[in-house]
Amino acid sequence: MALQPAALAEADATAESSGGPNHLWLRLLRSPLTLSGLVIVLIFVVLAVIAPWVSPYDPSAVSDSTLVGPSASHWLGTTQNGQDILSQMLYGARASMFVGIGAAVLTTLLSVLVGVTAGYIGGIGDELLSLLANVFLVLPSLPLTIILAAYLPHSGSLGIILVITVTGWAWGARVLRAQTLSLRKRDFVEAARATGERTWRIILKDILPNQVAVIAASFLGTVTGAILTQASLAFLGLADVTQWSWGTILYWAQTGSALLTGAWWWFVPAGLAIAVLGTALSLVNFGIDEFINPRLRQAGIGTKKAQRGQVSAKRVRRVKRRGPAVRRPAAAPFTQDSTDVVLDVRNLRVEYVGEGGRTPAVSDVSFTLRRGEVLGIAGESGSGKSTLAYAITRLHKPPAEISQGEIHYTKPDGSTVDVLAMDDTELREFRWEELSIVFQSAMHALNPVLRIGAQIEDVIVAHRPGMNAPERAARVIELLGIVGIPADRANSYPHELSGGMRQRAMIAVGLALDPEIIVMDEPTTALDVVIQRQIIEKIMELKDRLGFSVVFITHDLSLLIELSDTIAVMYGGKVVEMAAADDFYRRPQHPYSRGLLASFPTLGGPKRELTGIAGSPPDLRRLPSGCAFRPRCPHAFDACAAQVPQLYRIGAPGGGSSLAACLLHTDASPDQAADPAADPASDPKTDTAAAAGAGDPHSETTPNELATGETR
Ligand SMILES: Nc1ncnc2c1ncn2[C@@H]1O[C@H](COP(=O)(O)OP(=O)(O)OP(=O)(O)O)[C@@H](O)[C@H]1O
């Protein structure tokens, strides 16, 4: 596998015109409103810092010029003691800003710590932390602030910061907890977990970046709120009024009856400073919101050029010099005779455990997947396909429980590992290194605030700590090239890509570590047929080139027949038929399979009647006695109510065989459940299909023709 020269050239072209990550901050400054806000805040900060050097007078020094309005010698006038108000304002900025920023830092830290921890860990920890936050939320904050401040009158700014932190953290924690609860269930967090990312990295890279807008709003709001609280406490005389702050200026103005005597210059500057600083902070907040949210940025401060993803020119050049990463050779392509088993699932049972009892979503499922093989899993909604996929990847979560069965994975070196016995570390290595997953909806499985390249790189960082940055960049570009995405898209956000590109990006994430198996759960469901076809062709091409095996789940039967080597049909949590795709298509053995095939429309060619399947899928908690398909089966007879059919092996005229769980086939030999590796396509036994009335509804058509509707 080589680097794509065209992709690199494209990356170079955009990289030249690009900025690096540092330029992100420059983009923030392109919004005039944000820029004004930042400039104002900066002016206040600078004035606060340089106050001792630029103040014309000592703020406490009295003089004879009492209650003089603004003049050349006292720009903002004087108090009734002749103190210079400009000097008091400058010194006051120090205390007010210190309280504002100090309280915001502590409050935000506490909110993030409690909120994110509670939301992410869940369970009893969440309940306890939420209880604590709720207790603080129901306490009336103003009286509490006044009481606490009254007990700490001489503790200065630090005391006020503590009071504001204690009374103010709970709101932010509650909002962040709610956001974390929703984020941790999102597919991209699941995907990060599945790739083996460590918890702290998931929190830092997936949870927190998606909450930056809330955290920034909380921080900037707390700065304004803390300055106002400090001013209010000082105004009420509950702060140290000998320490100059904008609040103490208002306190002395009020005690000096400035309002009554018309000395507006005494109280207006402090009030105005608080209002202007609050407005400036809000402008900065709007800017951060736009900056963080790529969609807002598109409409706001970003330029077209800035939005085009760019790969750092330096990185790409270094990559070119170093050449492609070393890859392991592709496995031999799959053949029907292959006995090279990579995944062996036996008698697997997965149940959802709830108050109403146990729901067996997957029951006694056995199959083998051979190296390079595509196993298609079909079945109506609710038949247990996704539950099976999650169980074999061990991504199932409570209430799902694997209550029985075995899953064995055979490494390329021939050694076999028990997947169900793996501990967390082994699982972390197994997932993505050996087995990866392409989730159903790429929009949800990709992190909306991370660039595509960064998301692919994350998987590499988690599993290949020894790889340096240029090697990782090379691999990202290589992977994008493999799935046909231009290299310059590495720096695009998910919403900037088409649905097809996003899905291909997900496949690139799945391929990042050269897995042996890829589980694809309806990877093309949300796409139109043209894109769907492109993606399927890409998967097949990659499979042939890289030699991985695929477990492919979809409702689209024609697609499944076209791309699979073997098809397993699930009904009511069980595999009711398993056969080579061609045999399945030409000679479906189970009445349910025949119903499925007959209910699938063709896209062109001669019209045929869609007969469908009468009735609805069964309630897994109350399966009918005997065969679960019996109530819907046109061939059901008395014994079907009494006996749960096992899988029978049915020989095919051409030498293959199918497995079908139907009593119509009792004269066929029962399949040895203990030996599911026996190849249904290469172990001919008696041909009972005709006797079972299986017929050959498609004997004159090929799987491809089912999709197109053409027949020979
Ligand atoms: N969290 C859950 N709690 C209880 N039952 C569940 C849960 N998730 C799924 N089930 C049940 O398990 C059964 C199998 O669900 P599953 O999602 O595996 O089916 P599926 O064939 O993948 O369906 P679809 O094609 O619609 O995704 C369904 O009957 C479903 O109601």
Ligand 1 centroid to Cα of residue 388, in Å, is 10
**475 assigned to some structural domain:** yes
What is each CA distance from 685 to 182, 657, 673, in whole angstroms? 53, 7, 16
- Predicted confidence (pLDDT) at residue 476 exceeds the cutoff of 80: yes
- Predicted confidence (pLDDT) at residue 91 exceeds the cutoff of 60: yes
CA terminus-to-terminus distance, the chain: 39
pLDDT at position 336 is 56
Whether residues 388 and 534 share a domain: the answer is yes
Taking each helix axis as running N to C, give the angle between helix 141-151 and helix 156-183, from 0 to 180 degrees, rounded to the nearest 10. 150
Stronger pLDDT, 322 or 97, i.e. the higher one: 97
- Predicted confidence (pLDDT) at residue 141 exceeds the cutoff of 70: yes
Number of domains in the chain: 3
Is any atom of ligand 1 closer than 6 Å to the C-beta of 381? yes
Is any atom of ligand 1 closer than 6 Å to the C-beta of 294? no
Band (pLDDT 50/70/90 cuts) for residue 101 is: very high
Least confident of 248-262, 307-321, 401-415, 571-585: 307-321
Ligand 1 centroid to Cα of residue 627, in Å, is 20
**594 assigned to some structural domain:** yes
- Predicted confidence (pLDDT) at residue 678 exceeds the cutoff of 50: no
Mean per-residue pLDDT, 528-548: 78
Is any atom of ligand 1 closer than 6 Å to the C-beta of 383? yes
CATH code for the domain of 144: 1.10.3720.10
Residue 44 in contact with residue 101, Cβ under 8 Å? no
- Predicted confidence (pLDDT) at residue 264 exceeds the cutoff of 90: yes
**388 assigned to some structural domain:** yes
pLDDT at position 74 is 93
Domain extent, residue 635, equals: 569-708
Per DSSP, the three-state class of 530 is helix
Which range among 107-111, 233-237, 306-310, 561-565 has the greatest average pLDDT? 107-111
Whether residues 447 and 588 share a domain: the answer is no
Whether residues 655 and 593 share a domain: the answer is yes
pLDDT at position 709 is 37
Residue at which a domain ends, from 252, 285, 304: 304
The pLDDT tens digits of the residues spanning 320-379 come to: 444 444 344 445 555 555 568 899 999 999 999 887 788 899 999 999 999 889 999 998
Residue at which a domain ends, from 250, 281, 304: 304
Q: Rounded to 5 degrees, what angle do the CA atoms 574, 580, 583 make?
A: 105
Is any atom of ligand 1 closer than 6 Å to the C-beta of 360? no
Mutate to test the pocket of ligand 1, among 351, 381, 524, 551 (most ligand atoms within 8 A of CB): 381
- Predicted confidence (pLDDT) at residue 311 exceeds the cutoff of 60: no
Is any atom of ligand 1 closer than 6 Å to the C-beta of 361? yes
Is any atom of ligand 1 closer than 6 Å to the C-beta of 386? yes
Stronger pLDDT, 357 or 98, i.e. the higher one: 98
Whether residues 285 and 414 share a domain: the answer is no
Band (pLDDT 50/70/90 cuts) for residue 702 is: very low
- Predicted confidence (pLDDT) at residue 686 exceeds the cutoff of 50: no
> Across the chain, what does the average pLDDT equal?
79
Q: Report pTM.
A: 0.63
Is any atom of ligand 1 closer than 6 Å to the C-beta of 409? no
**626 assigned to some structural domain:** yes
Is any atom of ligand 1 closer than 6 Å to the C-beta of 571? no
**274 assigned to some structural domain:** yes
Ligand 1 centroid to Cα of residue 398, in Å, is 13
The pLDDT tens digits of the residues spanning 545-599 come to: 778 899 999 888 888 888 899 999 999 999 999 999 888 888 888 999 988 888 7
pLDDT at position 655 is 65
Least confident of 442-451, 663-672, 675-684: 675-684
Mutate to test the pocket of ligand 1, among 385, 397, 553 (most ligand atoms within 8 A of CB): 385
Mutate to test the pocket of ligand 1, among 362, 383, 554, 576 (most ligand atoms within 8 A of CB): 383
Ligand 1, atom 4, residue with closest C-alpha: 352
Band (pLDDT 50/70/90 cuts) for residue 706 is: very low
Ligand 1 atom closest to 620 (CA)? 29
pLDDT at position 15 is 35
Determine the Cα–Cα distance for residues 540 and 433; give it in Å rounded to an integer: 20
Band (pLDDT 50/70/90 cuts) for residue 277 is: very high
The pLDDT tens digits of the residues spanning 24-39 come to: 556 666 778 888 999 9
Ligand 1 centroid to Cα of residue 557, in Å, is 19
DSSP 407-473: EEEE-TTS-EEEGGG--HHHHHHHHHHTEEEE-S-HHHHS-TTS-HHHHHHHHHHHH-TT--HHHHH
Residue 366's nearest CA partner among 344, 340, 394, 336 is 344
- Which residue type sits at 417? V
What is each CA distance from 26 to 15, 285, 466, in whole angstroms? 17, 16, 32
Ligand 1 centroid to Cα of residue 556, in Å, is 18
Ligand 1, atom 26, residue with closest C-alpha: 381
Least confident of 120-134, 142-156, 241-255, 632-646: 142-156
pLDDT at position 569 is 94
Whether residues 294 and 347 share a domain: the answer is no
Determine the Cα–Cα distance for residues 578 and 592; give it in Å rounded to an integer: 12
Is any atom of ligand 1 closer than 6 Å to the C-beta of 554? no
Per DSSP, the three-state class of 560 is helix
User: To the nearest whole percent, how much of the chain has pLDDT over 70?
Assistant: 79
**650 assigned to some structural domain:** yes
- Predicted confidence (pLDDT) at residue 679 exceeds the cutoff of 90: no
Least confident of 186-190, 428-432, 477-481: 186-190
pLDDT at position 676 is 42
Is any atom of ligand 1 closer than 6 Å to the C-beta of 357? no
- Predicted confidence (pLDDT) at residue 697 exceeds the cutoff of 50: no
Mean per-residue pLDDT, 288-306: 52
Before 324, cis peptide (omega within 30)? no
What is the enclosing helix (H) or strand (E) of 366? strand 357-370
Ligand 1 centroid to Cα of residue 385, in Å, is 8
pLDDT at position 123 is 85
Ligand 1, atom 1, residue with closest C-alpha: 399
Is any atom of ligand 1 closer than 6 Å to the C-beta of 379? yes
β-strand partners of 346: 406
Is any atom of ligand 1 closer than 6 Å to the C-beta of 352? yes
Whether residues 534 and 582 share a domain: the answer is no
- Predicted confidence (pLDDT) at residue 663 exceeds the cutoff of 90: no
Band (pLDDT 50/70/90 cuts) for residue 316 is: very low
Is any atom of ligand 1 closer than 6 Å to the C-beta of 382? yes
Ligand 1 centroid to Cα of residue 91, in Å, is 65
**551 assigned to some structural domain:** no
Ligand 1 centroid to Cα of residue 682, in Å, is 33
Mean per-residue pLDDT, 14-23: 40
pLDDT at position 542 is 80
Ligand 1, atom 5, residue with closest C-alpha: 352
Ligand 1 centroid to Cα of residue 444, in Å, is 19
pLDDT at position 653 is 66
Determine the Cα–Cα distance for residues 598 and 592; give it in Å rounded to an integer: 10
Residue 176 in contact with residue 119, Cβ under 8 Å? yes
Mean per-residue pLDDT, 300-319: 39
Whether residues 411 and 464 share a domain: the answer is yes
Whether residues 185 and 40 share a domain: the answer is yes
Mean per-residue pLDDT, 66-92: 93
Whether residues 392 and 504 share a domain: the answer is yes
- Predicted confidence (pLDDT) at residue 443 exceeds the cutoff of 90: no
Whether residues 246 and 289 share a domain: the answer is yes
- Predicted confidence (pLDDT) at residue 2 exceeds the cutoff of 80: no
Whether residues 579 and 479 share a domain: the answer is no
Is any atom of ligand 1 closer than 6 Å to the C-beta of 172? no
CATH code for the domain of 370: 3.40.50.300
- Predicted confidence (pLDDT) at residue 498 exceeds the cutoff of 50: yes
The pLDDT tens digits of the residues spanning 597-628 come to: 887 765 455 566 666 777 788 888 888 888 99
Band (pLDDT 50/70/90 cuts) for residue 703 is: very low
Is any atom of ligand 1 closer than 6 Å to the C-beta of 20? no
Stronger pLDDT, 439 or 125, i.e. the higher one: 125
Residue 613's nearest CA partner among 630, 598, 635, 628 is 598
**561 assigned to some structural domain:** no
Is any atom of ligand 1 closer than 6 Å to the C-beta of 387? yes
Residue 97's nearest CA partner among 284, 269, 277, 286 is 277
Whether residues 506 and 614 share a domain: the answer is no
Mutate to test the pocket of ligand 1, among 353, 380, 386, 559 (most ligand atoms within 8 A of CB): 386
Which range among 111-120, 443-452, 585-594 has the greatest average pLDDT? 111-120
Ligand 1 atom closest to 617 (CA)? 29
